[in-house]
Structure 1
Amino acid sequence: MEYKTPQDLLNKLKDISTFIFDVDGVLTDGSILSTEDGQSLRTFNIKDGYALQLAVKRGYHLCIISGGDGIAMRKRFEKLGIKDVFLAAGNKVEIFRKYIAEHSILPENVLYMGDDIPDLGIMKLVGLPCCPADAIPEIKAVANFVSPYNGGKTAVRDIIEKVMKIQHNWYDEQPNAADSGK
């Protein structure tokens, strides 16, 4: 479904119960630093992390599906409380279908943010396909929301905050400053 007006998009945000994100190019800027011992290092944004952990605390389904992999990535998501993490994913659509079936989630209640060709299949299946500002043109063409922010530069925070604000779930009466450092 294409959202013709800002009001259409706002109405769709009210239906979101599930956030699914790619990693490289969405939660990171897409850069990978390779160490001499073969490790791949990525930089994550602390503001995205705050939004992710708050969404988990508020009871949203939160899932990561990425072709990338690494111990540091797994530890990062674990610290944020994200339990449904699928790394080294070959067939993202297959993982998506299995995930929503196991959790009895309707595709129209899913927000997915991707940035490149491997994300295209899922984006065509969800209720709210999104992407960062620096996504490739093919992804922008199917996205119903393009964040004004680049991948790894708070695009994830941007869309989570929009959903949670419209659903009156954003503000934390007693925020824990340590949550930002996860």
Structure 2
Amino acid sequence: MAKSYKEIMNAISTFVFDVDGVLTDGSVFINNQGEMLRTMNIRDGYAIKTAVDSGYNVCIISGGSNEGVRVRLRNLGVTDIHLGTPDKVATFDEYVDVYQIKPEQVLYMGDDIPDYHVMKLVGLPTCPQDACSEIKSIAAYISHKNGGKGAVRDVIEQVMRVQGKWMGNFDGKLD
């Protein structure tokens, strides 16, 4: 019998995310200078920072290249940021090899065709609710949240809850 996605979450040590359509809603705003601007969800950012601070590996692999995205992710503590990546599988293979990570320990969230082949390699392929149908067909978990609207927070929080690590030392008191 196949494991449920919740059972697979017990083994996750590494989160890998695409950017456009996952960390963003896929919209691009273009200013008068031709610069493409994106928005990111603050709760996704909180979850990423919490995962990094809790010792999880967090890696970004994106075909897009925007230095504002890199700055935002660095500010959250992410050090493995691969932007402008033409071959996501090669980048993923190199990443897991360098850090000696087993693919079954990886949760990958993607939303479109460029993520397909990487998602076939990982232990827990996931996607936002608004991912394309080809990606939804191979995802072990489809978030109830859209890309850029809390899907990243959803998967990080679930993994950390399953592993008993969400809200670490929080005592429930809000002063």
TM-score (norm 1): 0.91
- Give the length in aligned residue pairs: 171
Cα distance in 1 for residues equivalent to 2:103 and 2:124: 9
Deviation at 1:172, TM superposition (A): 3.7
Cα distance in 1 for residues equivalent to 2:120 and 2:168: 33
Following superposition, which runs of at least 4 residues in structure 1 exceed 6 angstroms of deviation? none
Query: Are 1:14 and 1:167, in contact at CA under 8 Å, matched by a contact in 2?
Result: yes
The answer for unaligned runs of 5 or more in structure 1 is 176-182
Identity of aligned residues (%): 52
Cα distance in 2 for residues equivalent to 1:16 and 1:155: 17
Q: CA deviation digits over 1:95-136, x for unaligned, max 9?
A: 000000000000000000000000001000000000000000
Task: Describe the SS at the equivalent of 2:60.
Answer: strand
Deviation at 1:173, TM superposition (A): 2.5
Cα distance in 2 for residues equivalent to 1:18 and 1:75: 21
Give the CA RMSD over aligned residues.
Answer: 1.4
Among candidates 128, 140, 144, match of residue 136 of structure 2: 140
Residue type of the alignment partner of 1:96 = F
1:83 is aligned to 2:79: yes
**Farther off after superposition, 45-54 or 65-74:** 65-74
Q: Which residue of 2 aligns with 1:35?
A: 31
Q: Residues 43 and 84 of structure 1: is their aligned pair in 2 closer, same or farther, counting only changes over 3 Å?
A: same
Among candidates 106, 115, 118, match of residue 119 of structure 1: 115
Deviation at 1:53, TM superposition (A): 0.3
Task: Describe the SS at the equivalent of 1:62.
Answer: strand
Task: Describe the SS at the equivalent of 1:64.
Answer: strand
TM-score (norm 2): 0.94
Query: Are 1:33 and 1:40, in contact at CA under 8 Å, matched by a contact in 2?
Result: yes
